Structure formats: C-alpha cells, structure tokens
Amino acid sequence: MATASVIDVDYEQPAAQGSVCDTRHAWARVPPEPSPVERIALKERIRRLLRERNAVMVSHFYVHPDLQDLAEETGGIVSDSLEMARFGRDHAATTLVVSGVRFMGETAKILSPEKRVLMPDLDANCSLDLGCPVDEFSAFCDQHPDRTVVVYANTSAAVKARADWLVTSSCALDVVSALHAQGRKILWGPDRHLGDYIQRQTGADMVSWNGACIVHDEFKALELDLLMKEHPSAKVLVHPESPADVIALADAVGSTSAILNAARGMDAKEFIVATDTGMLHKLRTLNPGKTFIEAPTAGNGGTCKSCAHCPWMAMNGLVELANALETGAGEIHVDPALGLRARVPIDRMLAFTAGLKNGQPAGSLIAGIGAA
C-alpha cells in the first residue's frame, strides 16, 4: 500500500476584535485510499481486533465513510461531538476507538479515565484548538473575572479545565440563553463565528476569543448566493461556525445533528450544505431520494484552502485505525488532575442537556454556577 502524503495547511485567524493567538501554519498527513481488496481485509482485521480488545468505535460525521459505516456495523456510533461524549462514557467497552480529531479523544478520556482511548492518528488536530493555547486564553479570562467562561468543545483539555461551561453546537444556544436569563455576562471561546451567532440569537453580553474553523470560515456568501440562483428550489443548511453573511442565507442553521434533522424534515428534494463534506455521506445515506450540493468555498479562479473538508479529519483511515488497535499506538493520555478539572464543565453540559431532554426548566439546570 502507498505511504501517506504530508500536506501543508495554511490558514489565517480572521482580523477582528478580540484576543487571538496567531497560528498560520500547520500540517496534516493524508492516508492513501486502500484498494478494494485491501479495504475488505482491513475491515475484517478491525472487526476481529474490536472483539479481541473489547473495543467500540466512536466516529464523527466528518471522517471517511469507511470509518462511519464500520462504526455502525460493529455496534459503535457515528454522531456529533456531544453524542460521541455521551456514548463513550456510557458504553460497556473497556477501549474506545475515537475517529475524529484530538480534542474528541481527550474528551472521551476525561469522561472515561478508566478506559483506554485510542485514535487512528494523534496528530489529527483542529484549527480552533490550535488557535486557543491555554496560557493566552487563561490570560484573556483573567482580564474578565466577572464573566462566566463558556468554551466550545473544540478545545484542549487544559482550556476546558479553565472553563465554567463546555458546549457543543448542539447545545450552545440553550446554555447561553439560560445563563443570559440569569444575568450572567459571558466570555466565549474560541470560535468567533459561532460566538457571534449565539450573541445575535440570545442578546447576551459576550466577549469572544477570535478563532475560526479552517473549513467553515472559507464558505463564501457571494458564491453561495449565485449557487442558490442556479438551484432556486434548494434549501440551504448551514453550520453556525460559518461567517454571518453565509448564515444569513440559510433556511436552517445548526449542528451536524440539526442539519441531519432538517434534511429529513424539510419538504424539499434539493439541499445546499455549508459544512464539512464528510457530512454528505450520512445525509445521502439517510435521504436516498434527495440531492445534496456542497456549498462553495471560493469563487471562479479562487484558490480553495479547505475545499470544505478538514485536513485533520482526513487523517483518519482504516490502516491507521487497525494499527492503533493492533499495537496500542495513538493512545490518548490526559493528566488525571487536569482531567478532573476539565470534567466539571463537561459534566455540567451533559447534565444540562439531559435535564432539558427530560423537560426540566433551563434555569434550574444552571442555578448556583458562577464565574470561575
């Protein structure tokens, strides 16, 4: 089999108000596609190793379709980061194999310190995580001691440990709305587009770290509007990590799970999707009679930086997953003391979302939790 190639990933944090760490360059390994014969053999090898290691696969919607399908075929899950966290915590397996990016593996380990957590490639990072180093973020928090610190899941264990609340895009609006209703002022990080969207929706008093997702930051409103004119009956589904002018064109805005629900529930046959193209596999699988079109990331003659697929998500492959199970490579370790601190805001999020699901008032789910 061919060896993995290494690509350079150039990206710039947007120039805007707020604190930011300048992280303009990173890299990613892109595993080669196995041949059909190799793919069959690898999947059988992984199935055997999962049984032998008492392991379960936990895959994100953005990883390769092979890793999504195999997770479901073997009793694992394909989901957004919120459900990944819940599933790994509650599953009886003693080993979790997390296909995604590093913060997802760290979150799994924080919630299940007694379990072994493996990833296909520990170098699979996230531009939001890379752009929010804990020392700089902690200094930013120290400048605003009166604010409740709410951080997005796309952060390191150390940044989570500095927070009062953790949120995913599935629950961020609900959490911030509840905090705002109790008069809390918010310090938000790291995704400024998601933070701006939440502020517009809730009216909360927020200051934000100035980070951005390498994929969603590249969606272009002008080109999206032109594509909409070519497909006038299409509904537009947008992830809230996208720029505000892209969100303004959406028929539905939400997390990956919300986008799936919108595609199922809307009376339309055609959709334009502004999120990572890894999502299209599940959208097409669950909606065989519908058409899904990638939202544009660049205009005519433009240079596509992300092409709407995260280069770090692309580092997850069958070969890497099999090797992790076989050898134990790619094991996630989190300092136990740090993990205990980081678990506090994660547990708050999980308890909050479980309470909402059970019909409890949002305000009762945040009472007594102040600023760090």
Q: Each residue of 288-327: pLDDT tens digit?
A: 999 999 999 875 544 444 478 999 999 999 999 999 999 9
Give the model's pLDDT for residue 159.
Answer: 98
What is the rounded average pLDDT for all residues in the chain? Answer: 89
215 contacts 292 by C-beta, under 8 angstroms: no
Average of per-residue pLDDT across 90-99: 98
Give the model's pLDDT for residue 12.
Answer: 46
Contacts of 177 (CB under 8 A, 6+ apart): 201, 202, 204, 362
Q: d(Cα 332, Cα 328) in Å, to the nearest integer?
A: 10
Average of per-residue pLDDT across 253-262: 96
Domains of the chain: 35-125+312-327 (3.40.50.10800), 128-214+346-362 (3.40.50.10800), 216-294 (3.40.50.10800)
Average of per-residue pLDDT across 37-56: 98
Q: d(Cα 31, Cα 206) in Å, to the nearest integer?
A: 40
168-221 confidence digits (pLDDT tens):
999 999 999 999 999 999 999 999 999 999 999 999 999 999 999 999 999 999
Percentage of the chain with pLDDT > 70? 89
Single pTM value for the model: 0.89
